[in-house]
């Protein structure tokens, strides 16, 4: 069976369509502005992203030609106000993340490294001078950012990171290694997390090209293939004292930045789940076996019905998380629960969708495989499933199982 028009990226989905019946009137929970942001980003993903991503995956190359159009969407900076940022509501920013991921996960991580990680961290923890220097250019995606926390020997236990920032006069000298850093090779500025001579954690703005900084792209990936993740070596990198983020005083400040990004990943998971569900349903309606569309078989319908139930639950959770964030009531634990729950559900949905699309389900041109493979990375980053589960477990039992 050849991919249908929809699978070629010609179909523009609609929450009111029969592909996604909005049984609970979730659209009514969104403001007009939020719906408009969703439609704008959806149109971009449908027209610009979906048609080219199979090829990008095959070649493992990021489509940089899309960056000006991505910038023109006016969503960069997420909820940050001023400095040329979008100043969206948390739900609006989430819907944008969802629609980018529905297009492709690497488009979302490329965008998220600058918008979610770098801008958000500098806006919340940076000095006025740092904000003015970096945020406006990043909000236009003319400058790119990265967030370097993970190290080769410290992922889940990032709190034990070993990178050092030693004070020498009015400079810091940074030594260490980082791994898996989104946009690490292309970012103009990398926020490097390191311990100072007093063993206190700090965030340091390191500009690309600084002597001693080496970045190399991680290749051979089975997930996020067009995305850019890097290994970074900091060999005596010197940055001025003013490049230290004044608001980052302990690991708690880092986890605040991570909580915001975890919300984005909950929405990202929803985007992957929606894409996989829609592709599986469209395929099931067209593909015939035993003389009938496979959509008419009870076992296929059962899978699709469960996907829809999970997507609806994920959506509700995301919307309420966003409303809590807007009211200043969102907790780190809620962000962990949402990330854990949505990544788990989306991973299962992508697995079932892959199954429904049969052998074609492993081909890039049928799209499900991209989302299925990306959910493996999503399941692991921004706190693995287990780590987020232990954060929730600590909250409900009063016992920490991991520190």
Ligand X SMILES: Cc1cc2nc3c(=O)[nH]c(=O)nc-3n(C[C@H](O)[C@H](O)[C@H](O)COP(=O)(O)OP(=O)(O)OC[C@H]3O[C@@H](n4cnc5c(N)ncnc54)[C@H](O)[C@@H]3O)c2cc1C
Instruction: Catalog residues that contact ligand X under the rule CB under 6 A.
Output: 113, 147-150, 155-156, 180-182, 224, 229, 377, 380-381, 384, 386-387, 390, 402
Minimum CB–partner distance for residue 344 and ligand X (Å): 13
Q: Which is nearer to ligand X, 296 or 380 (CB)?
A: 380
Q: What is residue 232's DSSP assignment?
A: E
Minimum CB–partner distance for residue 390 and ligand X (Å): 6
Minimum CB–partner distance for residue 238 and ligand X (Å): 22
- Asked whether the CA dihedral 276, 278, 279, 284 is positive or negative, the reply is positive
Q: Which is nearer to ligand X, 117 or 315 (CB)?
A: 117
Q: What is the dihedral of CA 211, 213, 214, 218, to 10 degrees?
A: -160
From 318, 281, 286, 322, select the one nearest 303 (Cα to Cα): 281
Q: Which is nearer to ligand X, 29 or 392 (CB)?
A: 392
Minimum CB–partner distance for residue 146 and ligand X (Å): 6
Cα atoms in the 13 Å half-sphere on the side-chain side of 260: 25
Q: Which residue is nearest to ligand X (CB)?
A: 155
Minimum CB–partner distance for residue 353 and ligand X (Å): 21
CB 226 within 8 A of CB 64: no
Minimum CB–partner distance for residue 320 and ligand X (Å): 25
Q: Which is nearer to ligand X, 297 or 364 (CB)?
A: 364
Q: Which is nearer to ligand X, 50 or 343 (CB)?
A: 343
Q: Which is nearer to ligand X, 156 or 210 (CB)?
A: 156
Non-local (6+) Cβ contacts of 211 within 8 A are 237, 238
- 309-342 burial by CB neighbour count: b if 16+ within 10 A, else e? ebbbebbebbbebbebbeeeebebbbbbbbbbbb
CB 112 within 8 A of CB 261: yes
Distance CA 130, CA 205 (A): 9
């Amino acid at each position: 069976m050849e991919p249908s028009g929809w699978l070629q990226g010609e179909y523009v989905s609609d929450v009111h369509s029969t592909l996604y019946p909005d049984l609970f009137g979730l659209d009514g929970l969104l403001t007009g502005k939020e719906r408009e942001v969703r439609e704008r980003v959806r149109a971009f993903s449908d027209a610009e992203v979906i048609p080219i991503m199979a090829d990008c995956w095959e070649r493992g190359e990021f489509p940089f030609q899309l960056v000006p159009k991505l910038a023109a969407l006016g969503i960069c900076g997420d909820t940050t106000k001023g400095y040329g940022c979008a100043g969206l509501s948390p739900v609006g920013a989430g819907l944008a993340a969802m629609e980018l991921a529905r297009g492709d996960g690497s488009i979302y991580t490329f965008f998220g490294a600058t918008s979610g990680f770098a801008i958000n961290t500098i806006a919340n923890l940076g000095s006025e001078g740092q904000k003015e220097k970096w945020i406006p250019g990043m909000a236009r995606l003319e400058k790119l950012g990265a967030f370097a926390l993970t190290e080769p020997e410290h992922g889940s236990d990032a709190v034990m990171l070993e990178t050092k920032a030693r004070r020498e006069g009015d400079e810091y000298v940074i030594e260490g290694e980082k791994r898996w850093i989104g946009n690490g090779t292309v970012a103009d500025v990398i926020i490097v997390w390191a311990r100072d001579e007093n063993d206190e954690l700090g965030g340091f703005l390191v500009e690309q090209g600084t002597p001693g900084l080496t970045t190399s792209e991680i290749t051979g990936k089975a997930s996020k293939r067009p995305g850019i993740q890097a290994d970074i070596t900091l060999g005596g990198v010197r940055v001025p004292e003013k490049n230290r983020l004044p608001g980052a005083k302990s690991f708690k400040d880092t986890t605040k930045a991570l909580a915001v990004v975890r919300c984005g990943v909950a929405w990202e998971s929803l985007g992957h789940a929606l894409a996989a569900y829609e592709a599986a349903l469209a395929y099931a309606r067209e593909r015939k076996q035993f003389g009938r569309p496979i959509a008419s078989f009870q076992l296929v319908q059962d899978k699709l019905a469960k996907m829809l139930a999970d997507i609806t639950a994920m959506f509700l959770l995301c919307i309420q998380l966003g409303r809590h964030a807007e009211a200043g009531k969102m907790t780190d634990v809620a962000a962990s629960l949402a990330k854990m729950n949505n990544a788990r559900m989306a991973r299962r949905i992508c697995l079932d969708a892959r199954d429904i699309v049969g052998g074609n389900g492993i081909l890039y041109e049928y799209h499900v495989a991209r989302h299925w493979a990306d959910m493996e990375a999503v399941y692991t980053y921004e706190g693995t499933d287990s780590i987020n589960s232990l954060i929730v477990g600590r909250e409900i039992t009063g016992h920490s199982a991991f520190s």
